[in-house]
Amino acid sequence: MKKNGLPKINIKEFKDYYYILTFLILALLLYASIFLLKFEGLRSPDQMDYAQIARHLYNGDGFITSSINPLSLTFYNSIENHPNLWRPPLYPLLVSASFHIFGINDAAVTLVSGFFYILLIPLVYLFAKEMFGRKVGLLAGMISLTSVVLVDYGMTGLTETMFTFLFTLSLFLLYKRSNPLFIGFLLGLCYLTRYNLLFIIPGILWFMYKEYPNWRIDVLKLMAIFMITVSPWWIRNFSLVGNPLFSLQKYEIVMFNDVFKSYSLYRTFQPIEPTNFIISHPISIIKKAIYGAGVLFVGIPRVIFNFFVPAIAIAGLFDIRREGKNFNFFVSILIMIFLQALALAIIHPLPRLFVPFVPVIITLASYKVVNIIDASRDVNIRRTLIGIFVVLILFPNIAGIFINDYSRSSYVHEEEIEYIKSIVGQDEAIVTDVPWMVAWYCERTGIWFPVTYKSMKMNLPSVNYVYFSAREQTGFREQNIKKEYIDNPLFREDFKLIKEFDSGAVLFKRSQTK
């Protein structure tokens, strides 16, 4: 049919690739606008840590690090060319590739996470459309596009958007009952991005058990290709420390309690066997687990920023028929969330590790919204409902995106960076409260300051510089630093103050060093 000589366009006749292209363009325009208007530099320790590892890869040094924990030195006692025993390899590898395109700078780090944010939006549309139809797909795509948490992590230079993209693509193929070899490969990439993928795999296997006709063979295929994908990294770890699954992160299970507060175990030279600690300190572990569960209970809904989205998603669960593929899929998602929450409550309660579930939550919320709107036959009521959901969901998202701060970390100062680079030799190390900053910006080896000066003196006799930043959490004002270092007569006898910066940061040099 034609109207005014023009063909009538029916939205249902659009091809998927038009929508995919539209979402890609919108995501690119939104991200570019925020990046150009607001991005100033890296903010978090993790960002700087990934960046400095990536620079070593770019330089052809391999997976080594210039940000060293004392605990790591107990497994590999050389400061020079110290292997990365903490981070998975895939994200730094992609950041190093970004350096080849954009140069070695803060922006090149952040653009990697932005790249996966842009790819994620059309993927959410396709996934939601596959599950619930095109209208739900379009709404899920728009909510994801303007999601504060997805945009925010797209601006951080962290692994969240990359992991979320790979994980969502894995779920998409899983839902479509695709070849388990592809899914196993993608899950391998997820593991090489974040180790917490191991907590999620049981939920995936449960879905395969329920929905794959030849689930036994398909599970074997998936696990085989998964292990093949990760095997080079496991072989590397085994050759270094004798354990293919080794990561310093395993010691976090004995941290954040009344024995080892915060990350303090990382700043010691004596590894504690986690199993022995759990057996000998059950009360500490129980108290930590209860506290961790509380942190996650409050923090997981906040991850999405807009409380209405998870609330509507929960309501959407009750619209799912209690049988069939959709029901089994969301049961598997709940299994994944529960198992990861259980593990993290005991190990390290980080709500941001639940960001990968945001696309699924948005999809379920979109499904509920479309059901509510379609239930009304009155045009005016439907328009009113659409207006309400725009106000409750999209408007707060858009406002939140432009409110967020993407400035450089407040304790990073060019004056301090340039002075440290001029005083400290390229092959020398610095004991500091911000080893990640020293490694990335100063391009020197930074060693996280040991818990006591006595342990530093005993284990790091060749380190001639100590730098304490103006960082609020751990800088020169922090009581333990003042007690063990700055105000400690033994430390002041061995080290002299050579520079006090305008920020309050201080740099010490070993007294006998000329």
Could you report the per-residue pLDDT of 454-511, keeping only the tens digit for each? 999 999 999 999 999 988 777 667 778 888 999 999 999 999 999 999 999 999 999 9
The predicted-structure confidence for 38-75, as pLDDT tens digits, reads as follows 898 998 999 999 999 999 999 999 999 999 999 999 99
For residue 486, what are the contacts with CB-CB under 8 A and spacing of at least 6? 468, 476, 492, 506
440 shares a domain with 389? no
| Last residue in a domain, options 352, 373, 403 | 403
Position 170 confidence tier, pLDDT thresholds 50, 70, 90: very high
Give the chain's end-to-end CA distance (angstroms, integer): 89
71 shares a domain with 178? yes
Give me the pLDDT at residue 17, please.
Answer: 85
| Last residue in a domain, options 403, 422, 449 | 403
Tell me whether residue 48 is in a domain: yes
Tell me whether residue 7 is in a domain: no
Instruction: Report the share of the chain in percent with pLDDT over 70.
Output: 96
CB atoms within 10 A of CB 371: 14
- Write down the pTM of the prediction: 0.92
Token look-up 């000589």 returns: 5
Give residue 348's identity as a one-letter amino acid code. Answer: H
Tell me whether residue 409 is in a domain: no
The predicted-structure confidence for 285-302, as pLDDT tens digits, reads as follows 999 999 999 999 888 887
Full residue range of the structural domain in which residue 476 is found? 414-510
483 shares a domain with 459? yes
Q: How many residues does the chain have?
A: 514
Tell me whether residue 77 is in a domain: yes
Position 310 confidence tier, pLDDT thresholds 50, 70, 90: confident
151 shares a domain with 190? yes
- Extract long-range pairs of 247-253: CB within 8 Å, 24+ residues apart: 247/85, 247/86, 247/88, 247/195, 248/69, 248/71, 248/72, 248/85, 248/86, 249/86, 249/195, 249/347, 249/348, 250/274, 251/71, 252/347, 252/348, 253/277, 253/278, 253/346, 253/347, 253/348
* Distance from C-alpha of 112 to C-alpha of 122, rounded to nearest angstrom: 17
Q: What is the mean pLDDT of residues 228-256?
A: 94
DSSP string, 358-378: HHHHHHHHHHHHHHHHHT---
95 shares a domain with 240? yes
458 shares a domain with 347? no
Give residue 109's identity as a one-letter amino acid code. Answer: V
Tell me whether residue 1 is in a domain: no
Taking alpha carbons only, the member of 194, 195, 221, 219 closest to residue 205 is 219
360 shares a domain with 293? yes
Tell me whether residue 321 is in a domain: yes
For residue 121, what are the contacts with CB-CB under 8 A and spacing of at least 6? 23, 24, 26, 27, 141, 144, 145
286 shares a domain with 428? no
319 shares a domain with 261? yes
* Distance from C-alpha of 338 to C-alpha of 342, rounded to nearest angstrom: 6
SS3 content of the chain, % helix, strand, coil (to 5): 65, 5, 30
Buried/exposed code over 236-265 (b: 16+ C-beta within 10 A; e: otherwise): bbeeeeeeeebbbbebbbbbbbebbeebeb
CB atoms within 10 A of CB 132: 23
Candidate from 234-238, 321-325, 364-368 with smallest mean pLDDT: 321-325
Task: Please count the helices (runs of H) and the strands (runs of E) in the chain.
Answer: 23, 8
220 shares a domain with 124? yes
Total of domains in the chain: 2
Instruction: Report the share of the chain in percent with pLDDT over 90.
Output: 72
| Last residue in a domain, options 374, 403, 432 | 403
Mean pLDDT value across the chain? 90
Tell me whether residue 8 is in a domain: no
358 shares a domain with 397? yes
451 shares a domain with 354? no
* Distance from C-alpha of 66 to C-alpha of 81, rounded to nearest angstrom: 8
Instruction: Please give the DSSP secondary-structure letter assigned to residue 299.
Output: H
Dihedral over alpha carbons 463, 466, 469, 475 (to 10 degrees): 100
Q: What angle do CA 350, 224, 212 make, to 5 degrees?
A: 85
Tell me whether residue 232 is in a domain: yes
* Distance from C-alpha of 230 to C-alpha of 234, rounded to nearest angstrom: 6
